[in-house]
Amino acid sequence: MKKVYLLTVLVYSFVVTCQAQESNQGKVEKLKPPFENQGQQEDYWAQEFFNKHYIKVDYKKYPDSIKVSDNNVYVYGEKQFKVITSNNNFKSIFMLGLLYPQLIYGNINSAIKTASKIEALTVNEQFFYKLNKGENLTISEIEELSFLNPNNNVKRFRFWLSTQHMANPTVYLFELTNENVKEPSSLQDFISGSKLTFFKSGWLIL
């Protein structure tokens, strides 16, 4: 009798555990103040940003060839930016054309000017000319926000975008979706079959 009772308890515990795991599938961990440090505060801002601004959009990959220089400058046609990261998985996001500067500053191309013509421009004209081409743009501090991933098919990230002419970087948040993932996979495999489904600027780092 005791053996039967013990077996019943074990089976019940197993069922309850499985149900709890299933009920948590797709839920995002909720962060609430107070916070112990700035990192927790920024994680909270990211959580609230997705909650308030999230709209799923299927972005197209960059359609043309992508060039990468030795100093980590990624060139997409007439636009470019520098990517600072030692993580090859994050680098693949830019090599695969999932993220590219046209998403930030649009597809308007400026006529290429010679050095003498650039020097003849006013300070403001030079700033907007270089800004439109993506020169002096640097992406850094890329990280996956695993606590915001709602399920195995979605991964959310953030990075800092810096420009030479602005003292403070801007936080950008984005989401990659891989609909072919059936179970937890490596980040490399996930990114290789993913598409960009959310991209938006967040706030300034002060």
What is the per-residue pLDDT across 123-147, written as a single tens digit (0 to 9) for each?
555 555 666 655 678 999 999 999 9
Domain holding 118, by residue range, is: 2-204
Q: Smallest Cα–Cα separation from 28: which of 189, 159, 172, 175?
A: 175
- pLDDT above 70 covers what percent of the chain? 72
- pLDDT above 90 covers what percent of the chain? 56
| pLDDT attached to residue 152 | 94
Paired tokens of 54: 């999230």
Reported confidence tier of residue 15, pLDDT bands at 50, 70, 90: very low
What torsion, rounded to 10 degrees, do the Cα atoms 30, 32, 35, 41 define?
70
Global pTM value = 0.76
pLDDT beyond 60 at 88: yes
What is the number of structural domains in the chain?
A: 1
The DSSP line for 19-85 is HHHHHHTTPPPPP-S--SSHHHHHHHHHHHHHHHH-----PPPP-S--EE-TTSEEEETTEEEEE--
| pLDDT attached to residue 136 | 77
